[in-house]
Amino acid sequence: MPEKILVVDDEKDLVDLISYNLEKDGFAVLRAYDGETALKQIRGHNPHLMILDLMLPGIQGIDVCKRIRNDPEHAALPIIMLTAKGTEVDKVLGLEVGADDYVTKPFSVKELLARVRSLLRRSAMEKEAGEKDIFVYKDLRMDYASHLVTIKDKRVDLSPTEFRLLKFLALKPGRVYTRDQLLDRVWGDETFVEPRTVDVHIKRLRAQIEKNKVRPQYVLTVRGFGYKFADIE
């Protein structure tokens, strides 16, 4: 069965263009021109990925994204956000509410298709990683069950918070997280924790696992946005 992609935009011509190229690439396409219809399509057809415009009539794209991330049944749906503005504020906002990637209008359809394929691969890897107790990338090895981390078979002693931070990033390679997202998902309900706390722990983590802290190969900084684990193909 072909993977289903939901395309959500109020510009019908753009939806037609994206849909045509997705179908030519072997995907099945669902369409929606407003936020309410998009939510119905997700609940009724369980797409594998959604391409979502930021500006929609009725329920805005940001709110659609928020609702999906708060719905346990569909929270893991990969989302590519489309934005016409292209400012860092819009990009950060999209990432903060749970978008996995973003594309600025006008965009290359070829680039969009490449992002779709890459995100679907990443999603499949995340599901596979979530079913395993061991994570290995280059010289880094993590045993989730025993909390053992090694670099070149040499044990690395991480604090519980550093381990949780590394594990959270490693479970979704290539996914960018803002500081606020990391605070929410790694620190949770801990009080009196500021965004700069993330930077401090990232620095400590890199000191333990990176050979070159200036040019890290595992935990990467995405300027203007936050942090991610390295892309793994």
Asked if the 132-229 domain carries CATH number 3.30.230.10, the reply is no
pLDDT at position 89? 65
122 class by beta-carbon count within 10 Å (0-12 exposed, 13-18 middle, 19+ buried) = buried
Domain boundaries in the chain?
Answer: 4-128, 132-229
pLDDT at 128: 67
According to DSSP, the residues that pair with 155 across neighbouring strands are 150
Position 75, amino acid: A
Q: Encoding tokens for residue 229? A: 């684990």
In this predicted structure, what is the pLDDT of residue 88? 65
Residue 192's pLDDT is 57
Q: Which amino acid is at 19?
A: S
Contact 39, 59 (CB under 8 A): yes
Per-residue b or e along 164-178, where b marks 16 or more CB atoms closer than 10 Å to that residue's CB = bbbbbbbbbbbbbbb
Strand order from edge to edge, sheet including 101-104:
28-32, 4-8, 49-53, 79-83, 101-104
* Residue 104: strand pairing partners: 83
User: From its phi and psi, is residue 220 left (phi > 0), alpha (psi between -120 and 50) or beta?
Assistant: beta
pLDDT of residue 122: 75
Which option is the CATH number for 4-128: 3.40.50.12780, 1.10.3720.10, 3.40.50.2300, 3.30.950.10?
3.40.50.2300
Q: Which DSSP state fits 177?
A: B
Q: From the first residue on, what is the mean pLDDT of each consecutive set of 10 residues in the chain (233 residues)?
A: 95 96 97 96 96 92 90 86 72 74 88 90 70 86 88 89 91 89 77 74 93 93 92 78
Q: What is the CB neighbour count within 10 angstroms for residue 44?
A: 9
For 194, which DSSP code?
-
